Amino acid sequence: MALSSILRRSASQLTPLTIRAIGFQRYSHQCAALFAAVKHSDISGKLFQSSFPPVLHYSTKKPSSDESLLRVIESEIKCAEESDDHDQVEEAPEGFPFKLQDNTGQQTISLTREYQGETINVEVHMPDLITGEENDDDGDNNDDTERGMQSSTPLVVRVSKKDGPCLEFGCTAYPDEISIDSLSVKDPNAEDQIAYEGPDFSDLDENLQKAFHKYLEIRGIKPSTTNYLHEYMINKDSREYLIWLKNLKKFIAA
C-alpha cells in the first residue's frame, strides 16, 4: 500500500510537467507554422511594416535654389575674370619711398618707411569711386563741391619717434591733391584715456595748414604717391571681389 501511494504521488507530480512540456512543443510547432505561413503570404509586408517604425530616407541632392544660386555666382565670376583690373599691376612711381604690404582678404594696405629717426606708417583704405554720371549735377563750383564730385582715397598717416607720442593725420587723397581732415597727438601709453583731438584742421591758421601739408609732402605723402595708391586700390578691390566670389562658390557647392 505504501509503495503504490508513493507511485501515485510521483505520477501526479510528473503529469503537469509532462503536459507543460508537450504544450510548449505544440506551441513552438504552431509558431513556426504561423511564421512560415505569414512569410509566404501576401500580407507579410503589411504585417511587418505595421510592426516596425518606418525607415527615413534622406536625400543628398542639393535644393534647386542652391543650384540656381551657383549658376549666378559662376556667371559673375566669369564676368569678373574678364575684367582687366583684377590682374593689373601698377608700377610704383620713380622714387616711391615706402615699403608696401598687401594682405589678401583685407580692405586696407599699409606703407612704412623710416625718415630721419621717424617711423612713418600709412594705412590706405578702399577708394570712394565717383562715376562720370554723378558729375553732371549742376551745383556751386566751390572747392568742397568739386572735391565731392571726384573719386578719393582715405588715408591715415602716423608719424612716430621711438617710444613717444605720434602725430596722426586723417587725410583724403583726390587726384593731384591731398586734403588733411584731422590732426591729433596720440600717446601709445595712454590708450585707455580719451585724448583731446584738437580743433578742426580747417579752423587752423592758413599758414599752419600749409606748413603741415609741406610736413607730409617731405615725408612722402604727395600727389604722385597718392595717385599711384588710388589706382592700386582700384585693382585690389577687383581682386578681392573675385576672391570673395570664389569663396562664396566653395561654400554653396560644399
Look at the alpha carbons of 188, 189, 191, 197 in this order and tell me if their dihedral is positive or negative.
negative
Q: Mean pLDDT check: name the lowest of 12-16, 116-120, 186-190, 250-254.
A: 12-16
Residues paired with 155 in a beta bridge = 124, 171
Joined grid coordinates for residue 228:
599711384
Question: Residue with C-alpha cell 558729375?
Answer: 135
Is residue 129 helix, strand or coil?
coil
In angstroms, the CA 77 to CA 83 distance is 10
- Give residue-wise pLDDT tens across range 240-252: 999 999 999 999 9
Cα 55 to chain centroid, rounded: 39
Backbone angles phi, psi at 182, to 5 degrees: -155, 155
The residue that leads in pLDDT, 8 or 123, is: 123
Look at the alpha carbons of 195, 196, 202, 207 in this order and tell me if their dihedral is positive or negative.
negative
In angstroms, the CA 222 to CA 177 distance is 8
- Give residue-wise pLDDT tens across range 98-119: 999 999 999 999 999 999 999 9
User: Please, what CATH class does the domain formed by 79-246 belong to?
Assistant: alpha beta
pLDDT score of 129: 85
- Give residue-wise pLDDT tens across range 137-175: 555 556 666 666 789 999 999 999 987 889 999 999 999
- Residue ranges covered by each domain of the chain: 2-51, 79-246
0.85 exceeded by the pTM? Answer: no
Can you tell me the mean pLDDT for 2-25? 44
Can you tell me the mean pLDDT for 60-85? 85
Instruction: Decide if pLDDT at 90 tops 80.
Output: no
The residue that leads in pLDDT, 36 or 191, is: 191
Q: Mean pLDDT check: name the lowest of 78-82, 160-164, 192-196.
A: 192-196
pLDDT score of 93: 87
- Most confidently predicted of 56-65, 144-153, 232-241: 232-241
Among 250, 245, 253, smallest CA distance to 80 is for 245
Q: For the purposes of burial, counting CB atoms within 10 Å of the CB of 171, is it exposed (0-12), middle (13-18) or buried (19 or more)?
A: buried
Question: Residue with C-alpha cell 561654400?
Answer: 251
Residues paired with 27 in a beta bridge = none
Residues near 115 by beta carbon (within 8 Å), at least 6 away in sequence? 97, 219, 220
Cα 243 to chain centroid, rounded: 11
pLDDT score of 149: 77
Joined grid coordinates for residue 24:
510548449
Residue 222: other Cβ atoms inside 10 A: 17
